[in-house]
Amino acid sequence: MNNPNTSLVSQMLSNRKKEIVYGKYEREVALAKQFFKYLGVYGLLASGLRSLEKRIIKPPLFRSELVKLPMANFLINWFGGNIGQETDANSGFLGFGLLHYTLINLLKPDRILCIGSQKGYIPAVCAMACRDNGKGIVDFVDAGKNEHESNSWGGIGFWKKTSPKKHFSLADIEMYINTYVMDSEQFAEASKKTYGYIYIDGDHSFKGVSRDYSMFWPKLEKGGIMCFHDITLKGKANSGEYGVWKLWKQLETKHNHKISIILRQNGIGILQKK
Ligand SMILES: C[S@@+](CC[C@H](N)C(=O)[O-])C[C@H]1O[C@@H](n2cnc3c(N)ncnc32)[C@H](O)[C@@H]1O
């Protein structure tokens, strides 16, 4: 009869061996990428390399580069993960990004919806979670408003000036995210999709966030999670009176499965659909 401890150890050793072999190929693929980038033909070969990468270096064990300092630091800087997301670029701490990443890892949704982001930090982290899950896609909606428009709520006009595909491709996640530069209301009317995870960080007025809640709650699947950013901000902003806190208070009587995570000024509200 097999000794369970021996078979466990041999399984671990064989996994380790696989990791070493995969690790070797990973370096070679990375070198090939650098070489083709240098030659300027990377675009042409990128998809071929990606499928090769998937076939030969698909990790045998769960593993994410997300929490390693260089990647975390890059994500925070490139996608604008600011203090409102409780990040720290120096130590590579992803703040609320880590929370969304973990919830998506646990739920493994097929579709994720993100409403509002200055430069894409939370949508990017969600897309990385899809990549690590081996499934799922993010629909990211932002009106692309700039600071001179009404109801911009911190928007800097970024999505009207940049190519979202190119922007996300720097983290190799462009195939896990579709960007819609439009108002959330327009998107809700046009889309028939349902979602397993929804993140709301667009219009922060009471009227605006309540509209997002009413439009997207019916599109949330059973067991799915809806998150609101900035549930504690109160008072006047350039775009008007903050109102997420007010909606969050109202939802208290409506939902049993409701969690508030409050740190400093911002805070995240989490609802699960039962
Ligand atoms: C407060 S910023 C998001 C800042 C965010 N905390 C972050 O980490 O990037 C709000 C974003 O929502 C967008 N926005 C505002 N109203 C919107 C609406 N009705 N539909 C879609 N996007 C909207 C703005 O263009 C802006 O980029």
**98: helix, strand or coil:** helix
Give, in order, the Cα–Cα distances in Å from 235 to each of 14, 37, 204, 242, 265.
58, 49, 11, 6, 12
Of 32 and 196, more confident? 196
Residues of the chain above pLDDT 90, percent: 66
What CATH number is attached to the domain comprising 180?
A: 3.40.50.150
Same domain, 30 and 119: no
Report, as an integer, the average pLDDT of 23-39: 65
**What pLDDT, on the 0 to 100 scale, is given for residue 29?**
66
214 within some domain: yes
Closest Cα partner for 106 from 133, 77, 135? 133
Cβ atoms of 147 and 157 within 8 Å: the answer is yes
Residue 75 φ/ψ region, left for φ over 0, alpha for ψ in the -120 to 50 degree band, beta for the rest? alpha
Determine the atom of ligand 1 nearest the C-alpha atom of 156: 27
ipTM: 0.95
Give the tokens for residue 11. Answer: 């399984």
Residue nearest to atom 11 of ligand 1 (CA): 116
Name beta bridge partners: 228: 200, 269
* CB of residue 205 inside a 6 A radius of ligand 1: no
Q: Which of 29, 57, 85 is the last residue of a domain?
A: 57
pLDDT tens per residue, range 59-74: 444 557 787 888 899 9
Of the candidates 209, 189, 185, the one whose C-alpha atom is nearest the C-alpha of residue 199 is 209
Q: Residue 13 is part of which domain span?
A: 4-57
